[in-house]
Amino acid sequence: MVQKQILEKIKEFNRIIIHMHIRPDGDCYGAGFGLKNIIKESFPEKEVYVVGENAEYVDFVGTPDIIDDELFKEALSIVVDTASEDRVSDQRFKNAKFVIKIDHHIPVNDYGDLIYVDTTRPATAQIILEFFIRFQEELKMNMEAAVALYTGIVTDTGRFRFRSVTADTFIAVAHLLNYGLDFAEILSRLSVKSENLMKLQGYVLLNFQKTENGVAYVKMLPEVVEKFDVSLEEATSLVNELSTLEDCPVWILFAEYENNIVRARLRSKGPAINELANKYDGGGHALACGANLGTWDKTDELLKDADELVKAYKESLK
């Protein structure tokens, strides 16, 4: 059993370094800091770090550590919520003595000495929570871990709205509520928007476009992000503003990242879009993916392919 092997490795190593993916989301944060706090509560004598980039909208969960290269030499590195090796935020995980991968995405490439991937789970944070539940006679929970894990689950399930949610999700979350978690407080924190972000939200609703067959999309150009004075992370968090649009089962948000690289966030409430994302150097889940386009010119190519996908999907429903 892989889960038991993971527990034994955690027991074996005195130094454990948890890695997140680049541009971390709520699930990545929740899984990483949830696991850190469970380990620290269970084994106070161990050194446990979370490394990677900061995510402002969930920074109440924790702050990544800055550590020296030498700490990796005899360490166990655990990479959470990261399908491909190149998306690990801190590539020094390769210098660790042993590497574990824990994820819920459709695998892109195998890496690590021990791999645990469960694509039936809507969030890696749920995998970590179920890991705790399975071994709760040997592991301990604290409120920091509970907050992190709930945050990870609730953000990656769209507040339990996505079809990836199962009865097991609610059974797992019930353990956190029984522990005493104030879920309403977390939802309140996640719902807060700055005035600038709310104005950008209005811009998205007024300026989105649609393809012939029903792909809704918005281009978050650099000048738009600058005009509304929000972070790129905040701007791209608005991808689901188009989720309730009538007759548009697929929606996309385009944005320009570091080094002028254009990427797309794709979402669906109908046709599977992971193969489409794969075609554009991306991947993810069947209904939630990312794609790397490189330039704005390629957005037209992706939109054409997405439109054909939606067309075929609608014809299949007739």
Strand 114-117, strand 283-284: pairing: unpaired
Residue 51: Cβ-neighbour burial (10 angstroms; 0-12, 13-18, 19+)? buried
Looking at the DSSP assignment, which residues form a beta bridge with residue 98?
Answer: 76
Report residue 309 as tokens.
Answer: 């996908």
C-beta pairs of 183-192 under 8 Å, 24+ apart in sequence: 183/150, 183/154, 186/147, 186/150, 186/151, 186/154, 187/154, 187/159, 189/60, 190/26, 190/57, 190/58, 190/151, 190/154, 190/155
What's the confidence (pLDDT) of residue 286?
Answer: 86
Report residue 69 as tokens.
Answer: 């290269």
145 in Cβ contact with 40 (< 8 Å): no
What's the confidence (pLDDT) of residue 208?
Answer: 97
277: which residues sit within 8 A by CB, 6+ positions away?
266, 283, 284, 289, 290, 291
Average pLDDT over residues 29-40: 98
Please give the CATH topology (third level) of the domain spanning 2-190.
Answer: inorganic pyrophosphatase (n-terminal core) (3.90.1640)
291 in Cβ contact with 281 (< 8 Å): yes
- Judged against a pLDDT cut of 90, whether residue 162 lies above it is answered with no
What's the confidence (pLDDT) of residue 92?
Answer: 96
Please give the CATH topology (third level) of the domain spanning 195-316.
Answer: Diaminopimelate Epimerase; Chain A, domain 1 (3.10.310)
What is the sign, positive or negative, of the torsion defined by CA atoms of 68, 72, 78, 79?
A: positive
220 in Cβ contact with 200 (< 8 Å): no
Average pLDDT over residues 160-170: 92
The reply to whether domains 2-190 and 195-316 share a CATH topology is: no
**Single-letter amino acid code for the residue at 315:** E
d(CA 156, CA 149): 11
- Judged against a pLDDT cut of 90, whether residue 283 lies above it is answered with no
pLDDT digits (tens, 9 = 90+) for 211-223: 999 999 999 999 9
What's the confidence (pLDDT) of residue 1?
Answer: 87
By percentage, how much of the chain surpasses pLDDT 70?
100
d(CA 57, CA 60): 8
Q: How many residues does the chain have?
A: 318
pLDDT-derived band of residue 153, with 50, 70 and 90 as boundaries?
very high
Print burial letters for 57-66: b (CB count within 10 Å at least 16), e (below 16): bbeebbebee
87 in Cβ contact with 257 (< 8 Å): no
What's the confidence (pLDDT) of residue 109?
Answer: 82
Q: Which residue has the higher pLDDT, 125 or 106?
A: 125
What's the confidence (pLDDT) of residue 107?
Answer: 82
Average pLDDT over residues 41-68: 95
pLDDT digits (tens, 9 = 90+) for 221-278: 999 999 999 988 889 989 999 999 999 999 999 999 887 899 999 999 999 999 999 9
The CA-based dihedral angle spanning residues 207, 210, 211, 214, taken in that order and rounded to the nearest 10 degrees: 160
For the chain, the domains span 2-190, 195-316
46: which residues sit within 8 A by CB, 6+ positions away?
13, 14, 15, 16, 39, 40
What's the confidence (pLDDT) of residue 300?
Answer: 95
78 in Cβ contact with 35 (< 8 Å): yes
